Amino acid sequence: MIEDIFPERCTGCNDCVTVCPDHVLDPGAAGAPPVIARVAQCQTCFLCELYCAHDAIYVAVEGAGTGTTLHHPTPLIGRLRHDYGWDGSTDDPLRAFWQLGPLLREGLEISAARHTRRQATALSEAATGQEGDEALSSRALGTTPKDPAA
Amino acid sequence: MKEMDADVLVVGGGMAAGWAAISAAKTGASVIVVDKGFMGTSGVTAPAGPNHWWVPPDPAQREAAIRRRLETAFGLADSKWMERIIDITWRSIPELDPYYPFSGDGKGGLFRSGLRGPEYVRALRRYATDLGVHVLDHHPALELLGRQDGSVGGAAGYDRLGGVSWHARAGAVVLATGGCGFRSGLIGSYSNTGDGYLMGVEAGAELSGMEFCISYSISPAWLSTRTLPYTGARYYDAAGAEIDVPAGVSRMREHLLVLADAFRAGPVYADLREAPKALPDVVRQIQPATVAAFERRGLDMFRDRFEVKLFGEGTIRGTGGLRIVDTGCATSVRGLFAAGDAATREHIAGATSGGGAQNAAWALSSGVLAGQAAAALARHEGKRAADEGLAPLGQAGLRPLAGMRPVDQKALQQTAGEEILDLDKALRRRATGLEASGRRLEGAWQEVSGHLVGKSLDAVAARETAAMVATARWCNEAALARTESRGMHVREDFPHISPLQAHRQMVGGLDRAWIRPDVAPQRQTKGHPG
Ligand SMILES: Cc1cc2nc3c(=O)[nH]c(=O)nc-3n(C[C@H](O)[C@H](O)[C@H](O)COP(=O)(O)OP(=O)(O)OC[C@H]3O[C@@H](n4cnc5c(N)ncnc54)[C@H](O)[C@@H]3O)c2cc1C
Ligand code: SF4
Ligand code: SF4
């Protein structure tokens, strides 16, 4: 969720108030930073940060799961806008974009091949009656044994 | 109160709305776009990066592409529609040259089939604005306005930055309000609460294909992202034992069933060490936000094992939506058109998700078609008298049937989401479960339609709650009525496809939901390409 608007960088232009799709922000007093008024509506899309030309916003990544929320670490301020190429650092921001499809398919092929391999192994083990303890216990857990190719 | 007037009013601010506004404006019509959010960041198009169905104008290639897609549509799609949208998509995207930084395709040409979301919608906005379209951000529509003859003649809503209501009179209205993700957390879907479905049905339109709402995408448990990096993932349970998850586009159901079993047992983790070798070097350039989801929690996405979750996509990557009755994307209500995820995508995707290529091509082309047809209708009808009475058509959340009283909106939204998106309910549909869900949703609907009222800014939230509950109810009714298994809709109590149900199914109704088979042939709109 949006976490900080840095007063020392913010010009009070209120662009982020308009740009946020979920109406999270209200304009501040004249020239002052906007107010984070409805943070529960924030969908962590980073788009306010992308549109802020002064890198005055940091969107933190909260919620349950692995890792810990980092609070506005200096190296990450402005990083996202830079990665998108919206900071003027490149005139060809989408040069790698064509690889999206091929990489997505390659990932699917990797997973599909892995699955087929495991099924074949499971079949041949069942046929020869060579299932080990590990296979039995993991089957009881609703999973399959470790991939012997791993 | 802010009064406005246009030939065509487009409701929404994603790719369907953008293309509708552009195509209407090109005919010389005056066009207003009202978006709930900001046209450029709102909706699922903006944070994504849709790849379009992209087939060169070579008859053999197009025929083959259509044949392949018909095979997975389970009898509900239409090859003529497919042909039309492939063609419109192919011809339209190059129009964005002055507005979008197209780059190379790795083979010496330009890569045009996929566009990155923020740049895509920004380009549509600039193109539309250059054509004279008037874009109003943060102007959610709350309801449609009806003329005496039953046709739609405008919409009303609330300007949430200005803090005033607005009222727009129009020759025709295009609903491009997106699908409904039931606030699952799916990236970009916070505002996509099914508002257009509710507004359309209140005006007398029908929905179609609402049973086809079973689609999920995997992401880190704490934030929905694009799914590119995860297709090669290995999965593990909490004890570290690997889960053998089937993969492949044609194995979606098996993939989901295995994951659903795993989630029932406990947390599930993904490991990306086997991701394609080239991915780590370019993922930051392709999808910066995906990297941020990890980096901002101190994780290395390609080294650290991380917890995952399936995010429900509802009708967004399902195929149901407002029923369209002709080749100009008109609904059955005169003056009202539907485009993108707000409309049914069965014509091109049938009973299988159109996510991945078809849906974007549909959002683009249905936008183009709806914009043209809406402009033509507005021109044909001429300017209606400025004082012609327009009746507000909104009900639940605005004009409750019984007395108003405080309503627990959070709980109602949660009910709607759970009944439709819960993995076990969705993947293992059977009459008993669907009937139980039906009772819960009926209760929620009675509460909403009977008692919920929101004024000013609160009206926006009230309508969102009403729309999510209404949408869930229609999805559930449709799932109960389709007593067979077809595409993504699988009934455990009717495991086979039934030749007697090889047609689309309409659903609608407010007080009482109803279902009807859709067996009428489509009308051809005069003056439309293809
Ligand atoms: C993560 C993800 C990846 C995807 N990738 C692909 C892909 O690669 N290929 C593909 O074909 N499809 C893909 N899809 C599907 C595709 O993105 C959608 O079909 C398409 O973007 C829909 O466009 P739309 O304009 O209909 O909806 P959206 O872009 O969702 O726009 C809906 C708009 O309606 C507005 N709105 C809602 N309610 C109101 C209201 N009451 N008043 C005013 N405005 C309102 C919202 O603010 C928003 O601007 C993907 C979807 C997701 C979620
Ligand atoms: S866009 Fe940036 S500079 Fe402008 S008000 Fe927002 S935070 Fe401040
Ligand atoms: S991250 Fe997205 S939803 Fe949150 S404040 Fe920024 S723009 Fe709004």
Query: Where does B12-78 show beta strands of DSSP type E?
Result: 31-34
Q: Give pLDDT, residue A122.
A: 80
Task: Determine the residue of chain B that is closest to A63 in CA distance.
Answer: B222
Contact at CB, B41 and A45, closer than 8 angstroms: yes
| Among candidate residues B49, B285, B307, B37, the one with its CA nearest the CA of residue B187 | B49
Average pLDDT over residues B489-502: 97
Q: Say if A147 falls within a structural domain.
A: no
**pTM for the complete prediction?**
0.95
Greater confidence (A30 vs B366) lies with B366
Instruction: Answer whether residue B270 shows pLDDT above 70.
Output: yes
Nearest to A66 among B101, B261, B306 (CB): B306
| Interchain CB contact of B296 with A (< 8 Å) | yes
Say how far apart CA B481 and CA B431 lie, in whole Å. Answer: 9
Average pLDDT over residues B468-480: 98
Q: Give pLDDT, residue B524.
A: 63
Instruction: Answer whether residue A136 shows pLDDT above 60.
Output: no
Q: Give pLDDT, residue B521.
A: 62
Task: Determine the residue of chain A that is closest to B284 in CA distance.
Answer: A83
- Nearest atom in ligand 3 to A46's CA: 1
Q: Is the CB of A20 under 6 A from ligand 2?
A: no
* Domain match, A132 and A70 both: no
Q: Give pLDDT, residue B428.
A: 96
| CATH number of residue A46's parent domain | 3.30.70.20
Say how far apart CA B277 and CA B273 lie, in whole Å. Answer: 9
Contact at CB, A51 and B279, closer than 8 angstroms: no
Nearest to B191 among A22, A62, A103 (CB): A22
Looking at domain B409-500, its CATH architecture is: Up-down Bundle (1.20)
Q: Give pLDDT, residue B385.
A: 67
* Domain match, A123 and A85 both: no
Which range, of A108-122, B14-28, B153-167, averages the lowest pLDDT? A108-122
Contact at CB, A68 and B276, closer than 8 angstroms: no
Q: Say if A143 falls within a structural domain.
A: no
Residue-wise pLDDT for B324-356, tens only, equals: 999 999 999 999 999 999 999 999 999 999 888
Q: Give pLDDT, residue B386.
A: 67
Q: Give pLDDT, residue B481.
A: 98
Q: Are B179 and B17 in contact (CB under 8 A)?
A: no
The encoded tokens of residue B464 equal 């969102």
Strand partners, B219: B309
Of the pLDDT bands very low, low, confident and very high (cuts 50, 70, 90), residue A150 is very low
* Domain match, A49 and A78 both: yes
Say how far apart CA B168 and CA B172 lie, in whole Å. Answer: 11
Q: Say if A108 falls within a structural domain.
A: yes
Closest residue by Cα to atom 8, ligand 3, is A20
Contacts of B8 (CB under 8 A, 6+ apart): B20, B21, B24, B29, B30, B31, B32, B170, B171, B172, B173, B174, B371, B374, B375, B378
| Among candidate residues B286, B287, B362, the one with its CA nearest the CA of residue B317 | B362
CA B77 to chain centre: 18
Domain segments of chain B as ranges = 2-213+315-391, 218-312, 409-500
* Domain match, A82 and A125 both: no
Q: Give pLDDT, residue A127.
A: 67
Looking at domain B218-312, its CATH architecture is: Alpha-Beta Complex (3.90)
| Among candidate residues B246, B426, B402, the one with its CA nearest the CA of residue B318 | B426
Q: Give pLDDT, residue A130.
A: 44
* Domain match, A80 and A106 both: no
| Interchain CB contact of B258 with A (< 8 Å) | no
* Domain match, A93 and A106 both: no
| Interchain CB contact of B14 with A (< 8 Å) | no
Instruction: Answer whether residue B506 shows pLDDT above 70.
Output: yes
| Interchain CB contact of B284 with A (< 8 Å) | yes
Smallest CA–CA distance, residue B383 to chain A, in Å, is: 33
Which range, of B53-67, B130-144, B347-361, averages the lowest pLDDT? B347-361
What is the DSSP annotation of A107-127? Answer: HHHHHHHHHHHHHHHHHHHHH
Closest residue by Cα to atom 53, ligand 1, is B44
Average pLDDT over residues B35-50: 96
How much of chain B, in percent, has pLDDT values that exceed 90?
Answer: 93
Q: Say if A124 falls within a structural domain.
A: yes
Average pLDDT over residues B302-319: 97
* Domain match, A83 and A121 both: no
Say how far apart CA B140 and CA B156 lie, in whole Å. Answer: 9
Dihedral angle at the C-alpha atoms of B297, B300, B304, B305, nearest 10 degrees? 70
Instruction: Answer whether residue B165 shows pLDDT above 80.
Output: yes
Instruction: Answer whether residue B520 shows pLDDT above 70.
Output: no
ipTM over 0.90: yes
The encoded tokens of residue B138 equal 């943060």
| Interchain CB contact of B109 with A (< 8 Å) | no
Of the pLDDT bands very low, low, confident and very high (cuts 50, 70, 90), residue B382 is confident
Of the pLDDT bands very low, low, confident and very high (cuts 50, 70, 90), residue A147 is very low
What is the DSSP annotation of B104-161? Answer: B-SSSSB--SB--HHHHHHHHHHHHHHTT-EEETT--EEEEEE-TTS-EEEEEEEETT
Average pLDDT, chain B: 95
Say how far apart CA A137 and CA B321 lie, in whole Å. Answer: 46
Quote the Cα angle for A137-A143-A148, to 5°: 80
Q: Say if A144 falls within a structural domain.
A: no
Of the pLDDT bands very low, low, confident and very high (cuts 50, 70, 90), residue A149 is very low
Q: Give pLDDT, residue B523.
A: 64
Residue-wise pLDDT for A27-82, tens only, equals: 999 889 999 999 999 999 999 999 999 999 999 999 999 999 999 889 999 999 99
Element (H, E) at B10: strand B2-11
Write the CATH number of the domain with boundaries B2-213+315-391: 3.50.50.60
Q: Are B411 and B452 in contact (CB under 8 A)?
A: no
The total number of structural domains that make up chain A: 2
Would you tell me how many other CB atoms lie within 10 Å of the CB of residue B109? 10
Of the pLDDT bands very low, low, confident and very high (cuts 50, 70, 90), residue B525 is low
Residue-wise pLDDT for B206-217, tens only, equals: 999 999 999 999
How much of chain B, in percent, has pLDDT values that exceed 70?
Answer: 97
Say how far apart CA B515 and CA B530 lie, in whole Å. Answer: 31
* Domain match, A73 and A107 both: no
| Among candidate residues A3, A85, A103, A88, the one with its CA nearest the CA of residue A48 | A3
Q: Say if A150 falls within a structural domain.
A: no
State the best of B41, B44, B111, B296 to mutate against chain A, taking most chain A CBs within 10 Å. B296
Average pLDDT over residues B468-485: 98
Q: Give pLDDT, residue A121.
A: 85
Residue-wise pLDDT for A82-100, tens only, equals: 999 999 999 999 999 999 9
* Domain match, A74 and A88 both: yes
Average pLDDT over residues B315-327: 97
* Domain match, A28 and A55 both: yes
Strand B164-175 and strand B242-243: pairing? unpaired
Tell me the chain B residues in contact with residue A143 when contact means C-beta distances shorter than 8 Å. 237, 241-244, 262
Q: Give pLDDT, residue B459.
A: 98
Contact at CB, B114 and A119, closer than 8 angstroms: no
Domain residues for A129? Answer: 102-136
Average pLDDT over residues B475-500: 97
The encoded tokens of residue B341 equal 């995820």
Sign, Cα dihedral of B499, B500, B501, B506 = positive
3-state secondary structure at position B1: coil
Say how far apart CA B16 and CA B364 lie, in whole Å. Answer: 5
C-alpha A52 to ligand 1 mean position (Å)? 23
B250-285 per-residue burial string, b: 16 or more CB within 10 A, e: under 16: ebbeebbbbbbbbbeeebbbbbbeebbeebbebbbb
Contact at CB, A92 and B248, closer than 8 angstroms: no
Q: Say if A26 falls within a structural domain.
A: yes
Average pLDDT over residues B404-426: 97
* Domain match, A33 and A80 both: yes
Of the pLDDT bands very low, low, confident and very high (cuts 50, 70, 90), residue A140 is very low
Say how far apart CA B277 and CA A102 lie, in whole Å. Answer: 12
* Domain match, A78 and A27 both: yes
Greater confidence (B478 vs B527) lies with B478
Say how far apart CA B208 and CA B506 lie, in whole Å. Answer: 4
CA B209 to chain centre: 12
Average pLDDT over residues B423-432: 97
What is the DSSP annotation of B273-312? Answer: TTS-TTHHHHHHHH-HHHHHHHHTTT--TTTS-EEEEEEE
Q: Are B319 and B212 in contact (CB under 8 A)?
A: yes
Smallest CA–CA distance, residue A67 to chain B, in Å, is: 5
Q: Give pLDDT, residue A142.
A: 31
Tell me the chain A residues in contact with residue B278 when contact means C-beta distances shorter than 8 Å. 99, 103
Q: Give pLDDT, residue A134.
A: 34
Q: Give pLDDT, residue B19.
A: 98
Residue-wise pLDDT for B82-100, tens only, equals: 999 999 999 999 999 999 9
Sign, Cα dihedral of B5, B9, B12, B17 = negative
Q: Say if A130 falls within a structural domain.
A: yes
Of the pLDDT bands very low, low, confident and very high (cuts 50, 70, 90), residue A132 is very low
